[in-house]
Structure formats: C-alpha cells, structure tokens
C-alpha cells in the first residue's frame, strides 16, 4: 500500500514539474506610425517664384518686355512683375514706371509668353475654376470695401491694392469658389465670362493699375490657390482699359498694349 501511494506521489510530482506557469504578457505593441515605417507624410504645395521685368520695347527675339502700343506705353516705360506661390496661396506684385500719368490700365496674368502679336500671350491664366459669380459684392463705399477691398477712384477703379479691381473683396478662401483642386486648371475663354465659367479676380489674377502724375503705379493680388509645376502662367499683359468686373464681358479690358514674359526665379529662401 505504501508502495502504491509512493508511486502515485512520484507521478504527481513529475506532472507538476512538467507544467510551467504562464508568464504575464503586456499589452500588444502599437502599430508603427507611417513616419516610423518610412512611408512619406503628406506635404504641402511646393514653393514657386516667377518674375518678369524690363524696359518695354517693340518685339524682338529674346525680349521679355514688349510694347504693342507706344502711345499708351511711351518709350522708356518699365515694368516688373513677381508671382510667388507657397503652401495654398499665391501673391502677385506688379509695378510700372513711365506709363501715361493719371490713367487706368487693366492687367492680368496670361497663359503664354509674350510674342510678336498681342494675342500670342493667349487667354487669361486661371488658377481656380468657378461655377458661379463671386460671393463678394461690387457695391462699395467711397473708401473701399467693408471686407478690406481697394480704395477706389470716383470711377470705381482700384488704386492698386491687394484686393482686386473695382470693389471685389480680398481673394481669400472664404470669398472664392470651393471647387476641388482638380477643377482649378482651366483658363478662362479669352477673358469672356459665361454663366458656367465666369471670370473674376478670385479665380484669375487681376492687377489693374492707376498711375500717378509721373505715370507710376503698383498693384498686388493675393489668391487662395497655389501654382503647380505642370501649369504656370506665361506672362503679365497690360491692357488699354480697366477690367470689366460684371456681366458677360467680365474680365475684358480692351486692347493689349504691353507684355512681360514670366520666367522662373530663385525663391527668396534659396
């Protein structure tokens, strides 16, 4: 009997020795973030800077400042345009010297470089496609738009401000169209608006000028969209008249009297 009990005890001890108590396990490791696995993180729009400048002369190969009407752009007149795009915005700055004094001119970015003929610069460059009229109103007080619009002359044209011609509010995301980026690359049809494709200073770049007594003027425009390497404006065109801002002729500004070809320029932080 004692032998049987001893054998049973030995078997129980052997069985207990073969079993190991499970060790406590910690929580499962969190999955690695995209940056830890080497996956690229989203990046913003790249920085792009364009520039055009020079003394306006009749067209010749290699000239980047071209005059088409020497009565409205006298000999010796100069112009300079800078277009800088970074993140989700674009800033354009235009200055001119030596145009006719106390006069208004339209000015817009166009899709092609300057050429021998005024129309060689093509239609307006458009950075943002719109499907309706701008939300900003053209009704302004004599001192400018209540939303930060331009100070206006008695005729309603701008004096060269960052807010676009004739009473349009600043080109900000809240005032612009809300289409997706895939809808923002179509140029306007030669500056002529339609109900489906209206021209305005939010989806295009308008830089109307009003010269002082010496024929000098400056203008700037801020847009809520960025440029892309695959599609850039080719020129800045100065027109004979202020830009029409409403109705079926919105975007038109008379004859093309001068042109500045845009080329790539180093970024300020390069």
Q: What's the Rg (C-alpha) of the chain?
A: 32
Q: What is the mean pLDDT of residues 156-160?
A: 38
Tell me which residue has tokens 């700037």: 220
pLDDT of 204-247, one tens digit each? Answer: 999 999 999 999 999 999 999 999 999 899 999 999 999 999 88
Is this model's pTM higher than 0.95 or not? no
Q: How many CA atoms lie within 13 A of 256 on its CB side?
A: 26
At the topology level, CATH places domain 45-270 in: Immunoglobulin-like (2.60.40)
Are residues 105 and 242 in contact, defined by beta-carbon separation less than 8 angstroms?
yes
Pair 212, 167: CB distance under 8 Å: no
Which carries the bigger pLDDT value, residue 75 or residue 142?
75
The 10s digit of each residue's pLDDT in 25-79 is 444 444 443 333 333 333 456 799 999 999 999 999 999 999 999 999 999 999 9
For residue 219 the two structure tokens come to: 């203008």
- Say whether 261 sits in a helix, a strand or coil: strand
Domain residue spans in the chain? 45-270
CB 83 within 8 A of CB 262: yes
Alpha carbon of 183 to those of 129, 198, 201, 225: distances in Å? 6, 14, 17, 12
């Amino acid at each position: 009997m004692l032998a049987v009990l001893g054998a049973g005890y030995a078997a129980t001890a052997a069985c207990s020795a073969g079993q190991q108590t499970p060790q406590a396990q910690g929580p499962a490791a969190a999955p690695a973030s995209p940056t830890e696995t080497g996956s690229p993180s989203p990046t913003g729009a790249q920085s792009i800077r364009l520039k055009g400048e020079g003394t306006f002369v009749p067209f010749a190969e290699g000239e980047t400042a071209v005059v088409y009407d020497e009565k409205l752009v006298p000999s010796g007149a100069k112009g300079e345009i800078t277009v800088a795009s970074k993140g989700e915005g674009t800033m354009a700055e235009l200055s001119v010297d030596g145009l006719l004094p106390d006069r208004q001119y339209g000015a817009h970015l166009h899709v092609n470089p300057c050429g021998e003929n005024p129309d060689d610069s093509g239609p307006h460059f458009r950075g943002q496609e719109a499907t309706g009229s701008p939300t900003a109103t053209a009704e302004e007080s004599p001192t400018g738009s209540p939303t930060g619009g331009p100070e206006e002359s008695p005729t309603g044209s701008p004096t060269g401000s960052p807010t676009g011609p004739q009473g349009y509010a600043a080109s900000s995301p809240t005032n612009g169209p809300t289409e997706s980026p895939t809808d923002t690359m179509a140029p306007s049809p030669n500056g002529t608006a339609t109900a489906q494709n209206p021209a305005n200073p939010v989806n295009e770049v308008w830089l109307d000028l009003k010269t002082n007594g010496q024929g000098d003027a400056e203008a700037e425009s801020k847009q809520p969209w960025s440029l892309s390497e695959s599609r850039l404006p080719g020129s800045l065109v100065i027109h004979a008249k202020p830009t029409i801002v409403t109705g079926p002729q919105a975007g038109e500004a008379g004859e093309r009297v001068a042109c500045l070809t845009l080329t790539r320029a180093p970024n300020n932080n390069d």
